[in-house]
Amino acid sequence: MSVTTRNSLLDRVWEPFRQQPGSRRALLLMAPLMVFEFFVFIAPFLMLLRISLSKQVRGLPYEAGTFTFEAYSEVLSSEFFHGLITYSFKLGIIATLLTVVLATFYAYAIWRSEGLTRTMLLFSVVLPLLTTLVIKTYAWVPLLAPRGTVNELLMAIGVLQSPIQLVPNTTGVIVGQVYIVFPYATLAVYSVLSTLDWEIVEAARDLGASRPRSFFEVVLPQAMPGVAVATVVSFAWSVGAYAAPGLLGAGSDRTFAIEVETQMLVGFNWPVATALSAIMLVLMFVSVVILYTALNSVGGDVSHGA
């Protein structure tokens, strides 16, 4: 295409925008995404709420046009669902704690390193991040199996006499889940750390802070926004864990997400599946807000405690 024909084409594209003032044009540019988010994100959630308020029927996903709180009361009153929800939150809390501590440490290591080491460390989180969830969980099967690499290794160095059960087991679920969210958490902390000036750590050490102390005194308070994001992401995904408990867990490692999937695709009980989803969303939202406020006020406390 020659420059002139391309330009005339561009001018034709421009024509409809021409009469619009500048800020309106900016809105027009944002419009496609806004429309998309409305129709593919917001509207579906409204639909979800509507269906969670429908009546359950045999043979069909739900009965259209009905309105009842049946599904909600079923979920809220059943011991079985309480167990699922508690398990999901426990898994979420343990996995998040482990992830955030390790990820903060690793992000700090990446920040401190330079050259090839830094590239390698970054690579070690970016590659798993861009690898499918299926592989990330599946990879632990040969590692953690009773005759798998980890057991063999521990037995060879004499830590264990006989293999221990790691998969399918809660241990396996936690390892797998930490592995899944770790890259995201690390990068969240790292992107905040990378805006900091290394000199402040030197200044702290020069003023008499030991290395661990200088980390807790000047690095951590500033990394807090990143740590908060890492916590929220790890928590939300771990509470909603599906793949790790599904593949690495025993029958008792049943999260709400697995139940939702079963109700949805196997049981064809859409009102219960959607009600459970909605309840979990609300519970998670509330806990995330509490977590986030708490974390930010911890950051604040540190900075006011001279």
Partner 1 sequence: MSKIELENLSKSFGDLQAVDDVSVSIRDGELLCLLGPSGCGKSTTMRMISGLETPTSGRVSIGGEDVTDKSAYERTTSMVFQNWALFPYKSVLENVAFGLKMRGEGKQERREHAREMLTRVHMDGYEDHNPTELSGGQKQRVALARSLAVDPDVLLLDEPLSNLDKRLREEMEIELKEIHEEFEKTFVHVTHNQDEAFTLADRIGIMNEGNLVQVGEPSEVYHNPKNRFIEEFLGDTNFVSGEVSAVDGDGAVVETDFGATIEFPLAADEDLSQGTTVTVSLRPEFMSLDAASATDGGQKTAARADGNGSNTVVGTIDTVLYRGSTIRYFVETNGESMFVERSVTEEGELDEGDAVQVSWPAEEILVFRPDGTRVET
Partner 2 sequence: MALERESVENALFKAGYGTIFAFMLVPLVIVIATSFSPSGNLDFPPAGFSLKWYSAFFDNIDWLRAFDNSLVIGAGTTVIATFLGTTAAFGLEARRDRWTQLLVPVVIMPLLIPPVILGVTLLVYFNEMGLRSSYVSIILAHTLWATPLVFFVMQSIFQRFDWELRDAGMDLGANPIRVFVHVVLPNVKSGIFVSALLAFIISLQEFVMALFLSSYGTRTIPVLAWTTLRQSLTPIVSVVSTFLILISLVGILLAALATNLDFIAKRL
* Residues of this chain that bind partner 1 (CB under 8 A): 197, 199-200, 202-210, 213-214, 217-218, 221-222, 299, 302-304, 306
Smallest distance from the beta carbon of 306 to partner 2, in angstroms? 26
Smallest distance from the beta carbon of 214 to partner 1, in angstroms? 8
Is the link from the previous residue into 168 a cis peptide, with omega within 30 of 0?
yes
Smallest distance from the beta carbon of 212 to partner 2, in angstroms? 8
Q: Which does 16 bind (CB under 5 to 8 A by kind): partner 2, partner 1, none?
A: none
| C-beta separation of 260 from 71 below 8 A | no
3-state secondary structure of 52: helix
Nearer to partner 2, 78 or 149 (CB): 149
Residue 92, both tokens: 């979420």
Q: Which does 213 bind (CB under 5 to 8 A by kind): partner 2, partner 1, none?
A: partner 1
Interior/surface letters 177-198, b for 16+ CB within 10 angstroms, e for the rest:
bbbbbbbbbbbbbbebbeeeee
Smallest distance from the beta carbon of 205 to partner 1, in angstroms? 5
Total Cβ atoms within 10 A of residue 267: 14
Q: How many DSSP H helices and E strands does the chain contain?
A: 16, 0
Nearer to partner 2, 62 or 305 (CB): 62
| C-beta separation of 58 from 268 below 8 A | no
Smallest distance from the beta carbon of 297 to partner 1, in angstroms? 14
Between the alpha carbon of residue 253 and those of residues 85, 151, 178, the distances in Å are 11, 21, 15
Q: Which does 199 bind (CB under 5 to 8 A by kind): partner 2, partner 1, none?
A: partner 1
Nearer to partner 1, 15 or 197 (CB): 197
Between the alpha carbon of residue 110 and those of residues 29, 75, 120, 218, the distances in Å are 37, 45, 9, 17
Smallest distance from the beta carbon of 104 to partner 2, in angstroms? 11
Q: Which does 298 bind (CB under 5 to 8 A by kind): partner 1, partner 2, none?
A: none
Q: Which does 126 bind (CB under 5 to 8 A by kind): partner 1, partner 2, none?
A: partner 2
Q: Which does 208 bind (CB under 5 to 8 A by kind): partner 1, partner 2, none?
A: partner 1
Q: Which does 116 bind (CB under 5 to 8 A by kind): partner 1, partner 2, none?
A: none
Nearer to partner 2, 166 or 247 (CB): 247
Smallest distance from the beta carbon of 82 to partner 2, in angstroms? 19
Q: Which amino acid is present at 10?
A: L
Nearer to partner 1, 147 or 304 (CB): 304
According to DSSP, the residues that pair with 296 across neighbouring strands are none
Between the alpha carbon of residue 18 and those of residues 10, 12, 25, 289, the distances in Å are 12, 10, 9, 44
